[in-house]
Structure 1
Amino acid sequence: MTAAIGSTWFRRHGASAAPRKRLLILPHAGGSASFYQAWGDAFDDDTEVLVARYPGRHDRMAEPCIDRMEVLADEITAALLPLTDVPLTLFGHSMGASLAYETALRLEHRHTVRPEALHVSSRKAPHRLTPRALHLQGDEALIAEVRGLGGTDSSLLDNLDLREMVLPAIRADFTIVGTYGPRSATPLGCPVYAYVGDRDPSITEDDMAAWADVAPAGFALRVLPGDHFYLVERRQELVRAVTERLAGAR
């Protein structure tokens, strides 16, 4: 049962058959597990890397997309529970940061599983969110937004046939982003580590600093050179920072 769940929801990288810790990566809106392929072998042999595989893309293309944060977080949490036998750290970029936070809340408050840490990247804190109604606009507006942010293979957007294949997933993700509004700053029992590019057009250092309000157990912010997808060019620095935190996991 566990293997079937893991193979459906997570791409698993590295570590031995008995890892001592796990890192779950939750991709951004319009993103997929393949974007984080290089992260799979970037950590030590004791760490198993899980990258979430959202429905409606790649080898889950035939499955209906999920367009509500609550539903996606519930599904991710349920799939993750059998894999919480070792210390778990969560990392989410952009939309994935909100999803990582919601997953951490569910693990802790519903299942008494406290993650070792939450790493959030390029996303406003839950109580500072200012959702946009981009998901209510036409396809061209969505495509323009995705192109502007980066993080999606441009060849998928240039080819009309491929674009039609990926648009439902993109629209579902931006529906999640557009309907996940400001909410109370419910605190977590684990430390929170935040990251942002110094030239991000929509997320400021102050926006990321507000994550401290949900992190009574500890908070740190790191600003790296780059825009919303600073983590492409600064991957090694970001991975190094996450690795240093993982080293402290039990």
Structure 2
Amino acid sequence: MNLYCIPYAGCSARVYDSWQQHLPDHVTVVPLELPGRGSRCVEEPIDELAALLADLYQQLDPGSPYALFGHSYGAVIAFELAKLLRAKGDPEPSALLLSASRAPRLLGADADTHRLSDAELTERLAELGGTPQELLENEELMEIYLPVIRADYRILGEYGTGTPGRVGCPVVAFYGDADDEADLASVEEWAHYTDGSFGVRKIHGDHFFLHAAESELVAAVEAVCTKGESS
């Protein structure tokens, strides 16, 4: 099975490089790099959802067994990618794994983030805690980084707060027990966005448990991928 992984806003897919060592050989981690970061850092970031989905779709092989994983912003993109696959008549993922993300209708808090000034956006990133302090304090690097994070937040800001369709595959949502951004109640709302089964998994940590509780999270992901534990 291929496990396609989408990173959170502003982050490179290299955040998933260490996952393979925690997983059995029959699960292959395939990080999906977005333009403007990591191995694609020379490309312009994409700030329009349809264009980003078209880009990511080209990186998939839906003809082979696969699952989709996304963290925070990446969870929203993973959901939309699964919707696109369904609309195209492609095989849907065996599981859609959504991590640290409020359900779409609850995303209004991020609506204006992409409109903040550089200073205000930097302050917001510092409050969230997912950006290394050394990056936030490096003006030259921030000149490169801010357009990337701003593109991601523009997609979130223009995403809307309705119920934008459903997927047909099983959905499993992960939440951090100390996460103020996406608590249990907001994560449980994802149940309304699938025609398949739905399950919730608690992970110890705050919004960035992807880092602090990596082994716990990957073990939970493996259970879903290999044992079908979605309920």
Across the aligned residues of Structure 1 and Structure 2, the Cα RMSD in angstroms comes to: 1.6
Say whether residues 1:31 and 2:11 are aligned partners.
yes
For 2:16, the aligned partner's letter is Y
1:112-155 Cα offsets, whole Å, 9 max, x none, are 32110001011111233214201111011111222222233322
**CA deviation digits over 1:206-234, x for unaligned, max 9?**
11001111223211112222211122121
Distance 1:146 1:172, change over 3 A: same
Q: Could you give the per-residue CA deviations for residues 12-69 of structure 1, whole angstroms, max 9, x where no partner exists?
A: xxxxxxxxx1001100001112222211322111121111111112332221110122
Tell me the CA shift for residue 185 of structure 1.
4.9
**Would you say 1:86 and 2:80 are equivalent positions?**
no
Q: SS in structure 2 opposite 1:120?
A: strand
Q: 1:102 aligns to what?
A: 80
Inter-partner Cα distance in structure 2 for 1:154 and 1:36? 21
Most deviating of 237-246 and 138-147: 138-147
Q: Percent identity?
A: 36
User: Which ranges of 4 or more aligned residues in structure 1 deviate by more than 4 Å?
Assistant: none
Give the secondary-structure state (helix, strand or coil) at the position aligned to 1:222: strand
Which residue does 2:41 correspond to in 1?
Answer: 61
The 1:177–1:207 alpha-carbon spacing in structure 2 relative to 1, beyond 3 Å, is same
Return the match for 1:210 from 168, 171, 189: 189
The corresponding residue for 1:48 is 28
Q: Is 1:177 aligned with 2:156?
A: yes
1:61 maps to amino acid: C
* Aligned residue in 2 for 1:226: 205
Give the C-alpha shift of residue 201 in structure 1.
2.0
Count of matched residue pairs: 227
- Residue 185 of structure 2 aligns to a residue whose secondary structure is helix
In structure 2, runs of 5+ residues without a counterpart are none
Amino acid at match of 1:201: D
Q: Does 1:247 align with 2:231?
A: no
Stretch of structure 1 that moved more, 133-142 or 150-159? 150-159
1:201 aligns with 2:180: yes
Structure 1 residue ranges without an equivalent (≥5): 1-20
> Is the 2:11–2:37 Cα contact (8 Å) retained in structure 1?
no
From the superposition, tell whether residues 150 and 52 of structure 1 become closer, same or farther in structure 2 (CA, over 3 Å): farther
Post-superposition Cα deviations, 1:177-199, rounded to whole Å, max 9, x if no partner, equal: 21111132522211100011122
DSSP-derived class of the 1:28 partner = coil
Residue type of the alignment partner of 1:153: P
Task: Measure how far apart 1:71 and its partner are.
Answer: 1.7
Q: Match for residue 166 of structure 1?
A: 145
Task: Give, in angstroms, the shift of residue 241 of structure 1.
Answer: 0.7
- Shift, 1:78, TM fit: 2.7
Counterpart residue number, 2:170: 191
Instruction: Tell me the TM-score normalised to structure 1 length.
Output: 0.85
